[in-house]
Amino acid sequence: MLEEKSAGLVIFRMDGGNPSYLLLHYGWGHWGFSKGNIEAGETEKEAAIREAKEETGLNSFTFFEDFREKIEYFYKRKGKRIHKEVIYFLVETEEKEVKVSYEHKGYKWLKLEEASNLLSFNNTKEILKRVNEAIEKVAYLNHD
């Protein structure tokens, strides 16, 4: 079986006392976080940062150093079954202006519940849940 490994960033910015998450609309049709293939010689984190810059036009990220979560899935390309692993890191940005690359059809900044509803796959919904818990540990969030 073919193996693929990607790395990505869950990107949020604080807005009105709680986080807004950046979701990208993939050409495949689904909504997810920024990610891409890890190239030879790159660390997971380097790949995730490079891809996020290319895919969103954002430049500056503050990492939650303890956050590193993995998802796995299978898909088929040209009739071949592929096992894929994606490692996600968590970052905050203060930038708002997003410029998606040709790879994506659009983007949205969304609060937790709306982001969870729009994410297409349960594994990324689960990542979002863990991300929110990690942010709640360190920030006082406005739940009004």
> What whole-number distance in Å separates Cα of residue 70 and Cα of residue 90?
12
Q: How far is the CB of 37 from ligand ATP (least distance, A)?
A: 5
Query: Residues 6 or more apart from 83 whose CB is under 8 A from it?
Result: 1, 2, 3, 4, 72, 73, 74
> What whole-number distance in Å separates Cα of residue 77 and Cα of residue 55?
22
Residue 123 engages ligand ATP in binding (rule: CB under 6 A): yes
> What whole-number distance in Å separates Cα of residue 108 and Cα of residue 128?
15
Binding track over 29-68 against ligand ATP, x by CB under 6 A = -x-x--xxx-------------------------------
Nearer to ligand ATP, 40 or 138 (CB): 40
Which listed range, 17-25, 28-36, 60-68, 87-95, lies at the site for ligand ATP (CB under 6 A)? 28-36
DSSP annotation of 17 reads T
Figure out which of the listed residues 20, 56, 93, 124 binds ligand ATP, where binding follows CB under 6 A: 124
If we measure between CA atoms, which residue out of 134, 135, 137, 105 comes closest to residue 32? 105
> What whole-number distance in Å separates Cα of residue 89 and Cα of residue 87?
7
Figure out which of the listed residues 43, 73, 106, 133 binds ligand ATP, where binding follows CB under 6 A: 73
Nearer to ligand ATP, 28 or 140 (CB): 28
Residues that bind ligand ATP (CB under 6 A): 6, 26, 28, 30, 32, 35-37, 71, 73, 75, 84, 121, 123-124
